[in-house]
Structure 1
Amino acid sequence: MPLAVAFSGGADSTVLLHAAAARWPGQVQALHVHHGLQGAADHFEAHCMAACEALGVPLWVGRVDARHAAGESPEDAARRARYATLATLAQSRGLADVLLAQHADDQVETLLIALGRGAGLDGLAGMPARIERHGVSFHRPLIGLSAAVLREWLRSQGIAHVEDPSNADPRYTRNRIRQLVLPALQAALPQYRDTFARSARNAARASALLSQLAESDLMAAGSPPALEVLRALPAERLANALRHWLRRDHGAVPSEAQLAQLLVQVAACSTRGHRIRLRIADGRVEREGPVLRWYNASPTP
């Protein structure tokens, strides 16, 4: 069955492309995202074209403007643009599966970023081996291998790759972790990749159980959820249900303060006259008679 490899030309995706082409000869196509964020992007594309030609692998290029909006993380903006472009490229070629080259060090960096942001179980679960986005299945077959192992294989094979200069830019959180934190972890906890991965798997299992509980509670509450049913839930279970409802049905992730305020308002909603109108993420939650409703952001009257 044909599949795609997200190919940036860097060390990790170069290993992945060579491994996939050897494992599934004639079935692999490469997808390259030209971000347009730096002058070297044209050089990266040319390198990828030459590498794919040498392997006999078709290459498809998508160009995207991944500049971030004011107040938005440049890393998050680039990642979202990359996934959307990869999915569009894959679907245009009739490909349902895309391989990503993220590895064990990327997983550790992701967990540390999540800890730094005060993330819940979803964030601490890290990157799963498989995700669905934009109608495409993305797979991470290298998630259990370290960056050092991948680069050593490239050196042993004498295979060229490009180095993205932005990977050394200390303005980006992930780069600071890579340069400063991972060497310290290696010295203090040599098995940290394995133990962090185990913690991520445990968090993912716990997160899945909470999601199942939330689904059960929301099934009882209906859609939109009935306040009477919500108010009967214990506080932590109510928080879990509301968080899940907002994320599942509306793609909204409330801050800790926003969720706490919503919990207070739902608990206090014992009379018909009690009004709820709270800003949550990029929209708002309101009481409408016996139920809670979500509204996209709009000017407040």
Structure 2
Amino acid sequence: MPCVAVAYSGGRDSTALLHAVACATREANREMLVSPPAHAGGEPLGVGAMCVVALHVHHGLSPNADAWLAHAQATCDAWAAQGLPVRLVARHVRLSADAGQGVEAEARALRHQALHEMAVEAGADMLLLAHHRRDQAETLLLQALRGGGLAGLAAMPKDDLRDGLRWVRPWLDHPREAIEAYIEAHGLRHIDDESNGDPRFARNRLRLAVWPALQAAFPQAEVALATSAARLADALVPLRSWQSQALTVLQAPDDAAAMNVRLWARWSPAERRESLRHWFASVSGQALSANWTLRLADELPRMLAHAPKPEDACGVWPALGLSLYRGRLRWAPAGADHGEGGGGGTAMQPVRIDAPGDWPLPAWGGMLRVTPCTHGGVAPERLLGMTVASRTGGERFQAGPGRPPRTLKKQFQMLGVPAWERDAPLFWAGDQLLFVPGLGLDARCWAAPGMPQCAMSWHWLDAEPAAALKCEV
């Protein structure tokens, strides 16, 4: 039986929408029985009656969650007994224990996933949601307060296709007061979520503390903000078209995860930032923060300009999984195996250390400190031709004289080196691994006793990680 799905929490808005859709579907079914669709030859088509599936997500966040589910079931059963073609489908979801202050975002993500799965399983190709004009205005304000871009400021789309399912908000242009009037006219019962008064949640703070004052000062605020969101949504369409074209131009033909930085660097700053955001999201599935976008859009062109030749510029940003090598910016997932030893297929950056002191490596987020020592150090001449590269997998490190070389993974595990400390770069002398932050100098590179030698230690430049990685020499 063909069906349409409605997201149904049991609250005021979703109750009104579900009832309205169920009533409209009943009337459509009656008309179909009276005048069934026919072929061109006049024969009736075998079209089944439509049904409405109410989708309820049980988060378990409220002590009243079970009661809400029971209310939703009782409501659907009562309406079905009255002849409305509606049935309830519910699903329990569980938030992670460490959601913390991100409970809003995680609950929303789990709810959307559950709604999508239930709608598809029910055979629906369209999901209706009860967001109205006030919701849209609030969303634009929240996105602006978070520094959102065009996609965020466009707020909620009225009709959006996601993985084969249409998410439709038919009441996005309607005021909240119209929904309240519908509830009263039909005598519909609904639940009130006590969390709507919790000021820990950003939308609640906006509704309780900001919106009344805003509307008092600007009575047309709701209409104006919703109108702005609609105009921004229109602008989003050509932007996405440009983003797709830019991605086609910039993406390396033989490597979908790499971008032609030399071409990209010739674009305007605004084009660089926007295309970088889109490219990173397309290859990593993650959003690039505003700070990283600004930094890379400025830093990468300067690196190309200051290198002897543009293709000589290289660097690695482990926190993002990015590396620059031979004019290409490439993304690889954390822990990706690119080969054995020597940096494998990743970029290796030459580093020439000719005196003790602090040697910053901004592209790596830290600095190398070199100090004179009397034993367990490295001969100064070995520092002149070093290279630095990210960990790629398979590198072997010898922790002391006479001890067997072991993989870095095992060495880190044996010494209990935290996961975040393992993102520091590795230092090489030719094909020999020389220094590993968190482990120290490879014993095969120790200078002979009595000879001039230097100790090495790695220190992060940013506040996080707060602790320096110190080698024991």
Of residues 152, 170, 174, the one that matches 2:203 is 174
| Worse overlay, 75-84 or 233-242 | 233-242
TM-score, normalised via structure 1 length: 0.93
* Residue 127 of structure 1, CA deviation: 0.5
* Residue 200 of structure 1, CA deviation: 0.8
CA distance in 2, matches of 1:297, 1:168: 40
Q: Is 2:86 the counterpart of 1:53?
A: no
- In structure 1, runs of 5+ residues without a counterpart are none
CA distance in 2, matches of 1:19, 1:128: 21
* Residue 139 of structure 1, CA deviation: 0.9
Of residues 303, 310, 328, the one that matches 1:291 is 328
Q: Is 2:251 the counterpart of 1:235?
A: no
**Which protein shows a greater Rg?**
2
Q: Which has the higher contact order (CA 8 A, sep 6+)?
A: 1
* Residue 272 of structure 1, CA deviation: 3.0
* Residue 71 of structure 1, CA deviation: 5.5
> Does the CA contact (< 8 Å) of 1:231 and 1:266 recur in 2?
yes
> Does the CA contact (< 8 Å) of 2:6 and 2:54 recur in 1?
yes
TM-score, normalised via structure 2 length: 0.60
Alignment-derived partner of residue 153 in structure 2: 124
> Does the CA contact (< 8 Å) of 1:258 and 1:279 recur in 2?
no
CA distance in 2, matches of 1:179, 1:23: 34
* Residue 279 of structure 1, CA deviation: 5.2
| Worse overlay, 162-171 or 141-150 | 141-150
* Residue 7 of structure 1, CA deviation: 0.5
Sort the Cα spacing of 1:141 and 1:257 in 2 relative to 1 into closer, same or farther, 3 A.
same
CA distance in 1, matches of 2:101, 2:333: 19
CA distance in 1, matches of 2:318, 2:240: 23
Of residues 68, 76, 87, the one that matches 1:44 is 68
Which AA in structure 2 matches 1:33? V
Q: Is 2:243 the counterpart of 1:214?
A: yes
* Residue 87 of structure 1, CA deviation: 0.8
Alignment-derived partner of residue 316 in structure 2: 277
CA distance in 2, matches of 1:296, 1:19: 47
CA distance in 2, matches of 1:209, 1:104: 24
CA distance in 1, matches of 2:244, 2:106: 30
Sort the Cα spacing of 1:297 and 1:109 in 2 relative to 1 into closer, same or farther, 3 A.
farther
Which AA in structure 2 matches 1:49? Q
| Worse overlay, 194-203 or 126-135 | 126-135
Q: Is 2:45 the counterpart of 1:11?
A: no
* Residue 190 of structure 1, CA deviation: 1.6
- In structure 2, runs of 5+ residues without a counterpart are 27-49, 81-85, 305-309, 336-421, 426-473
Q: Secondary structure at the match of 2:151?
A: helix
Of residues 40, 51, 54, the one that matches 1:30 is 54
| Worse overlay, 269-278 or 259-268 | 269-278
* Residue 135 of structure 1, CA deviation: 4.1
CA distance in 2, matches of 1:274, 1:167: 53
CA distance in 2, matches of 1:40, 1:104: 28
Q: Is 2:132 the counterpart of 1:95?
A: no
Tell me how many residue pairs correspond in the alignment.
Answer: 299
CA distance in 1, matches of 2:204, 2:318: 34
* Residue 205 of structure 1, CA deviation: 2.4
Higher percent of residues as helix: 1
Which AA in structure 2 matches 1:225? M
Higher percent of residues as strand: 2
Alignment-derived partner of residue 250 in structure 1: 284
CA distance in 2, matches of 1:251, 1:71: 23
Alignment-derived partner of residue 166 in structure 2: 137
Deviations for 1:31-62, whole angstroms, at most 9, x for unmatched residues? 10001111100000000001111222111111
Q: Secondary structure at the match of 1:143?
A: coil
CA distance in 2, matches of 1:69, 1:131: 31
Alignment-derived partner of residue 163 in structure 1: 192
Which AA in structure 2 matches 1:50? A
CA distance in 2, matches of 1:238, 1:285: 16
Which AA in structure 2 matches 1:189? F
Sort the Cα spacing of 1:161 and 1:70 in 2 relative to 1 into closer, same or farther, 3 A.
closer
CA distance in 2, matches of 1:164, 1:71: 20
CA distance in 1, matches of 2:295, 2:100: 24
Sort the Cα spacing of 1:279 and 1:213 in 2 relative to 1 into closer, same or farther, 3 A.
farther
Q: Secondary structure at the match of 1:150?
A: helix
Which AA in structure 2 matches 1:209? P
* Residue 133 of structure 1, CA deviation: 3.5
> Does the CA contact (< 8 Å) of 1:107 and 1:143 recur in 2?
yes
Which AA in structure 2 matches 1:164? D
Deviations for 1:169-191, whole angstroms, at most 9, x for unmatched residues? 11111111111222122212222
Alignment-derived partner of residue 377 in structure 2: none
CA distance in 1, matches of 2:163, 2:10: 24
Alignment-derived partner of residue 296 in structure 2: 262
Which AA in structure 2 matches 1:9? G
